[in-house]
A and B are shown apart, each in its own frame.
Chain A
C-alpha cells in the first residue's frame, strides 16, 4: 500500500500528537512527584539537625558562698530542697565560664561569654543538686547545652565570613568555642529531651513533648467520642432505619459535614464549647470534641460501607436461630465489619492529627511551657507547634519546626500504614 506524501505527513503528525498527549500525563505526574520530593527533601534537610544539639563540658563550682547553703548545718529535707531550688545557678554558670577564660576582663566580653551557655545549664545543675548527684562545695563537671546561636553556628548555618555585625555569633565567641573544641569540651549529642520537653522561648530548650502529648490527648478524646457515636450511627442507619425522608436528611447532613471547611468547626467550638458551655480554653478536651465532630462523617461513612459489605446470609443465619436484630448486629455483623470500621477510623484520626485551623480557633495556639497532665490542661498540639515555630525569627526554631514535621509525618505514616495493612488483610479474606 502506498500513501501519498500528504497522508504520510498527516500520519507522522498524528503520531507526534499522540506521543505529546501521552507525555503530558507523565509530566503532570512528574511535577506532582517532584513537588512531593522537594517538600520531603527540604523538610528533611532543614529539620534533621534539630535532633542533635551541642553541649559543652563545664566544671561548676558549687561554693558554699554562692549556694548560700551551709554544708555543716543540718536542714530538714524540705528546707534543704527549698534552698537548693532557689540557689542562684545563673551566677554559678557565669562563674564557671569566667573561670574557663580567666583572661576575659572587659564587661562587654564577659557578657558575651555568659550567653554562650543555655539556661538549660542552670536547670541541669539544679536537678543534679536536687537529686543529690552534686553537693555543696563540690567541683562538678557536667555536659550542658550551649546557646541556640552558638548551636546554629556549630551546625554550620552561620557564615563566619560575614561581617561581625551581621551575625548573631561574635568573633570572640567563635574564638572561645574553637578553644573549647580544641580541648574536646564540645560535643554534639542526640537530643532525646526534644521529644519530652515542653515548648520554651529559648530554641535550644524547646521540645515537642508538650505538643506530642497534647496531640495524643486530642486523638484520645477524638477516638473515644467519634468511634462509639459513629459506629452507633452507622448501625442505626444501615440496619434499623427505614429509607425515608428523615434518614435521607441525616444522610445529607453527614455528607455535607464531610465537606465543611475545618475552620468552621473551629468557629463552632469557639462559640458553642468555649463561650456557651464554658469549657476550658486551649484544652485537648475541647480540641478533641471539635475534631471528633469533624471525624464523625469519615467514621460513619466507613462503618456504613463495612457493615453493608457483610453478606446478608450471615444475618439470615442468626435471625433464623432466633437472634434478635440487635443481637445479630452485635454478635455477627459488627465483628465481621470491624476491620473496615477500624481502617476508616484510623484514616479519620490521621486526618485529625494534622488538623490545625480548628485548634487555633479554640485557643490552642497559646504559648504553653509545660507538658499537659490531663485533657483539661492547656496544651499545644503537633501541627500547631509546627505553625508557631515556623513563625519564629530564630533559625533554630525553623529547624525544630521541620523536625516536628518529620515526627508528625512519621506518625501519619504509621497510622496510614496500619490502615493499609488492615484493608489488605480484609481483602485477602
Chain B
C-alpha cells in the first residue's frame, strides 16, 4: 500500500516577471522513486527546489499557488504559496514552518558533486552535527559509517576518512554527497541530475544505490536520460514549458503515453 508523501497543488514559480513553472499539481508517493523528465528549461529543477524550499533563497523567485482567472482566461499567481505543497498532509509553506527544519527532512543531491573542502568524515558528519543527531562521538562515528555504507562507499574510503572529500573520483564524490545527505536524517532525498557528470559505470552504481535507498526514503530525481528514468523510477512526470503535461506509472508513461507531446519527447521528437 503506497501513501502520499507530497501533495502538490497548483504550484507556480515566477522569477521576477518570468514564469519558471506554472500550475503544477501532483502527488509523490512515499518510498518510491519519482522521476521528472522534460526538455531543458522546462522547470524541473524549479519544481524540485520547491519541495525543500530552496527557492526561498533566490531573491527574485516567487513561489505561489495559482488560481484560474476567468476574466483573462489564464492562471494567475496568488500572493503566497499557502497550501501549494503538503508534506505528510502538513503545509510546508505555512508561515509557522521553518524552512531550515524542513530541509533537514528533505535532503538534496546536486548535479555536480559538491563536497565541502573538508575531510570525508567531516563531510558526512556535518548534517548530524548541526542537527544534534549524535550525543557522543561514538554515535557520530556510527552514523557516518552507516551513511557511507548505505551510499556504498564505506569499503572504499574507510581507511582514509581524514582525507579531503575533494580527493575522491567524481563518482565517489557524488556518492559522498548522497551519504552526506542521508546522514542528516532526511525522509526525502531530492536528486537533480545526479548522474549527468558521471561515466556509465558510476551511473550504474548510483542507480543501483537508489534502488536500495527507496526502501527507506522517498526519492525524487530529475534526469535527462529516458532510459535512466525507465530503469529506476516507479512513477514519471513529464514537464513541458513550465507545465506538468503528464504523470503516470513509469511503465505506463513510456509504453503508453496519453499525451502526444509526451509521446514525441520519449521517442526523441519534439512536437
Contacts and interface: CB of A to CB of B under 8 A. Distances in A.
Judged by CB atoms under 8 Å, the answer to whether A and B touch is: yes
Interface of A: 242-243, 313-314, 316-325, 327, 331-332, 336
A108 B133 CA distance: 91
Contacts, number: 62
Interface string B102-132: 1111011110101111000000001100110
Grouping DSSP codes into helix (H, G, I), strand (E, B) and loop, the A interface class, with mixed when no group exceeds half, is helix
B180 interface: yes
B11 interface: no
A313 B130 contact: no
Nearest to A322: B104
B52 A320 contact: yes
Given A242-B59, A316-B54, A327-B130, A321 B114 contact: no
A320 B57 contact: no
B239 to A, nearest CB: 21
Contacts of B110: 313, 316-317, 320
Contacts of B100: 322-324
Contact of B107 (A313, A321, A331): A321
Nearest to A326: B100
Given A313-B110, A313-B114, A314-B116, A321 B181 contact: yes
B101 interface: yes
Interface in B111-169: 112, 114-117, 126-127, 130-131
Nearest to B57: A319
B103 to A, nearest CB: 4
Nearest to A313: B114
Contact of A319 (B54, B101, B131): B54
Contacts of A319: 54, 57, 103
Contacts of B108: 316, 320-321
Enumerate the 3 nearest inter-chain pairs by beta-carbon distance, A residue then B residue, closest first.
Answer: A322-B104, A320-B108, A322-B103
A321 B104 contact: yes
Interface centre among A242, A313, A318, A322 (most CB of B within 10 A): A322
Interface of B: 52, 54, 57, 59, 100-105, 107-110, 112, 114-117, 126-127, 130-131, 177, 180-181, 184
Given A313-B112, A314-B116, A332-B116, A321 B103 contact: yes
B112 A320 contact: no
Contacts of B115: 317
Interface centre among A320, A327, A336 (most CB of B within 10 A): A320
A317 B116 contact: yes
A316 B110 CA distance: 8
Contacts of A243: 59
B114 A314 contact: yes
B212 to A, nearest CB: 21
A317 B177 contact: yes
B116 A322 contact: no
A322 B114 contact: no
B49 to A, nearest CB: 9
A105 B105 CA distance: 101
Contacts of B130: 321-323, 327, 331
6 contacts: A313-B114, A314-B117, A317-B110, A317-B114, A319-B103, A322-B184
Contacts of B103: 319-322
B116 A320 contact: no
Contacts of A325: 57
B180 A321 contact: yes
A321 B57 contact: no
Contacts of B107: 320-322
A321 B57 CA distance: 14
Contacts of B184: 321-322
Contacts of A317: 110, 114-116, 177, 180
Contacts of B102: 322
A336 B117 contact: yes
Contacts of A327: 130
Given A317-B110, A317-B115, A319-B103, 18 more contacts: A313-B112, A316-B54, A316-B108, A317-B116, A318-B116, A320-B107, A320-B181, A321-B103, A321-B104, A321-B107, A321-B108, A321-B184, A322-B100, A322-B101, A322-B104, A322-B184, A323-B100, A325-B57
B188 to A, nearest CB: 12
A327 B104 CA distance: 13
B126 to A, nearest CB: 6
B54 A321 contact: no
